[in-house]
Amino acid sequence: MADGSGGSGGSGRGLERTLIVVKPDAVSRGLVGEILSRFERRGFRILELRLLKLGRSQAEDFYRPHAGKEFFESLISFITSGPVVAAVLEGRNAISAVRAMVGPTDSASAPPGTIRGDLGLGLTDNVIHASDSRESFEREVEVLFPGFLSREAEAGTSAQG
């Protein structure tokens, strides 16, 4: 049961869940532990964790909002190029706090201290994906952890709402 200790503590107000995906470049560079430990040190709980290799159709479903964009094919190619580590994190204001820890998409412009600023190498090989909204989380988590939302609803443990 969530105790509100994620993030900066408190009564559980603002407690929510988000999804991160440690991308193939970070997995191949041995950065999974470094990345996950940053979230744990910030007080986030890891609720689900999975190492997987995305197939093309799963990757297309995951990145559906970018379909038709110029970079879509290279994004699909990259995310399917090797294993990824997906995790559901829980903590206070998780979506915005995790996005702040991750930094801007382009690692070259990400400030030091952010995950991408410290570990990313470029625009595509930027080591991590993080859900940018509750709606994105709900769509993305069902691609990588099918049934997660319904299991949470049945258990009565949803922190999203």
Catalytic residue among 38, 92, 99, 129: 129
E strand or H helix at 141, and its extent? helix 134-144
- 66 an active-site residue? no
For the chain, how long is the longest CA-to-CA vector? 44
| DSSP code string of 63-115 | TGGGTTSTTHHHHHHHHTSS-EEEEEEEEETHHHHHHHHH--SSGGGSPTTSH
Any idea which residues carry the catalytic annotation? 129
